Amino acid sequence: MIHLNGRFMPLEEATIPVLDRGFIFGDGVYEVIPVYSRRPFRLAEHLRRLQNSLDAISLKNPHTDAEWGALIEELIACNEGADQYLYLHITRGVAKRDHAFPKVVTPTVFMMSSPLLPPAAELKSSGVAAITTIDNRWLRCDIKSISLLPNVLLRQSAVEAGTMEAVLLREGFMTEGAASNIFVVQNGVVLAPPKNHLMLPGITYDLVLELAQAEGIPTQVGPVPEAALRSANELWLTSSTREVLPITVLDGQPVGKGQPGPLFKRMDALYQNYKATVMRQAD
């Protein structure tokens, strides 16, 4: 079951007009929210980022947080599976094709749920491979925009190279992955690029930094030069659907010892423990 503009219906019944500005211009924003044990994870943070994305494209939020909360609850209830991931998509709506904003228009709101499978144990025990590519996206990567063509092409280049992710480099610095944030571990310090217009402020990124800081694991948020990436002891990728994964091969070369490192194992344990605690508290 999906939600479209105020109604719940089977996916097969959902249609949108071809003049929707999401279809014509990619004029919209989205969110991806994990659900564990039928409860949304870090919902307030996701709704805050959604608001920031909407503000950045001057689109009025069609719902209050309380309304989003109720819609999300209903979406979870009418889909199977304890763990789901929710996709929320808001476009500027249907209007005659003209680049400038229409004067009067109703946003299109679409929500769907998909099964959320935890990353395979194999990915955590062996790690994943990635390539580096030039970050050729625009300068508002902080907006969770549905215009994802550059990310699609970058991710496809990673897949065609037989790897899981493309780690992006802009002017000698690492920004993020094509669909994830990236952390570099060097000499026991977790390095993270700063949240600015060059990367998406990941909800998992924030959580990983929070967990590291609470555990006394040294962190350093600041520009991450390509050289730090190339000489990393460990590399991690994070996203709401993939949690924290170790990158053990970069551009065909082993990262550190070519195995998931000790800090990854600690972080993964902290992350799993945090998830379990949050879920218990909600009971």
CB of 181 to ligand PDD, least distance (A): 5
Residues lying near ligand PDD in the complex (CB under 6 A) = 32, 151, 176, 179-181, 200, 202-205, 238-241
- Decide whether 53 or 239 has the Cβ nearer to ligand PDD: 239
Residue among 203 and 267 whose Cβ is closer to ligand PDD: 203
Residue with smaller CB distance to ligand PDD, 90 or 95: 90
For the chain, the DSSP string reads -EEETTEEE-GGG----TTBHHHHH--EEEEEEEEETTEESSHHHHHHHHHHHHHHTT---SS-HHHHHHHHHHHHHTS--SSEEEEEEEE--B-SS-SSPPSS---EEEEEEEE-PPPPHHHHHH-EEEEEEE--S-S-TTS-BS--HHHHHHHHHHHHTT-SEEEEEETTEEEEESSSEEEEEETTEEEE--SSTTS---HHHHHHHHHHHHHT--EEES-EEHHHHHT-SEEEEEETTTEEEEEEEETTEESTTSS--HHHHHHHHHHHHHHHHHHHHH-
Q: Report, in Å, the least distance between residue 143 CB and ligand PDD.
A: 10
Which residue number, 86 or 109, has a Cβ lying nearer to ligand PDD?
86
Supply the minimum distance, in Å, between the C-beta of residue 43 and ligand PDD.
12
Q: Smallest gap, in angstroms, from Cβ of residue 168 to ligand PDD?
A: 9
Considering the candidates 96, 103, 124, 144, report the single residue annotated as catalytic. Answer: 144
Q: How far is the CB of 128 from ligand PDD (least distance, A)?
A: 15
In the complex with ligand PDD, the residue whose CB is nearer, 163 or 180, is: 180
Active site residue 124: no
User: Any idea which residues carry the catalytic annotation?
Assistant: 144
